[in-house]
A = this chain, B = another copy of it.
Amino acid sequence: MQITKEHIENFEQRFRTTFINSLAGFRQAVLVGTKSKEGWSNLAIFNSLIHLGANPALFGLINRPDSVQRDTLQNITETGSYSLNFVAADLYQKAHQTSARYDKEISEFEAIGLTERTVDDHHAPILGEAVVSILMQLEQITPIELNGTKLIIGSIQEVILPDELVHKDGFIGLDEAQVLVTQGLDAYFSTQAIGRLPYAKP
């Protein structure tokens, strides 16, 4: 099947959204934890985690305009603090439920029955049920004028994860904890390891 740009433009709107979102492939499911200046906690699922560099350790997140993620963006902008949380695949229903449009004063942790934890003096909460939690500090928000999205760039402040997932060479065996993968806006997967390969040479 060969689908042109014109076909895509003429797709029914929901069909197009589902097609293009799922066309971007498999992605890490990330629950982003934040807290407003007033103390309202928020937890929201993202699928746009980006590795930007290892030294300094920088990760990016894409925020779409007018999305249900607006509270997250506001909290990050106001406080500079956020957490990235990966969960096991069996938590997929609760993870998905964080995409609902709860009022700002409602904590998704409470509404969905998840555990809010704080770590040291970090303002943002982490998810108690997470396999891996990463505490982030906002470094920069880069606007993408083409379509009004924003690239949120942060530096890694602290990583909390089970000892046994960290291999001798630094590799984190996320599949051993059956960490949740997503595709599009509503599809969830677990992974099966195929293998690791040595550094490739011509």
- List residues of A whose CB falls within 8 A of some B CB: 1-5, 8-9, 11, 13-28, 30, 47-60, 62, 64, 86, 89, 92-93, 96-103, 106, 111, 119, 132, 134, 139-140, 142, 144, 146-147, 149, 151, 153, 155-163, 166, 169-172, 174-175, 179-181, 183-184, 186-202
Contact = CB atoms under 8 A, between A and B. Distances in A.
Contacts of A172: 19, 22-23, 184
A99 to B, nearest CB: 5
Contacts of A158: 2-5
Contacts of A149: 52-53
A170 B186 CA distance: 12
A53 B1 contact: no
A67 B23 CA distance: 26
Nearest to A54: B20
Interface residues of chain A: helix, strand, loop or mixed (majority): mixed
Contacts of A144: 52, 142, 151, 153
Number of identical monomers bound together in the oligomeric complex: 2
Contacts of A186: 196-199
A28 B28 contact: no
Contacts of A139: 146
21 contacts: A1-B166, A2-B119, A11-B170, A16-B55, A17-B54, A19-B54, A20-B156, A21-B51, A22-B171, A23-B159, A47-B51, A58-B147, A93-B197, A96-B200, A100-B200, A103-B202, A139-B146, A142-B144, A188-B193, A188-B195, A190-B192
* Residue of A25, A96, A100 with most chain B CB atoms under a 10 A cut-off: A25
Given A157-B4, A192-B189, A170 B54 contact: no
Contacts of A54: 16-17, 19-21
Contacts of A47: 51
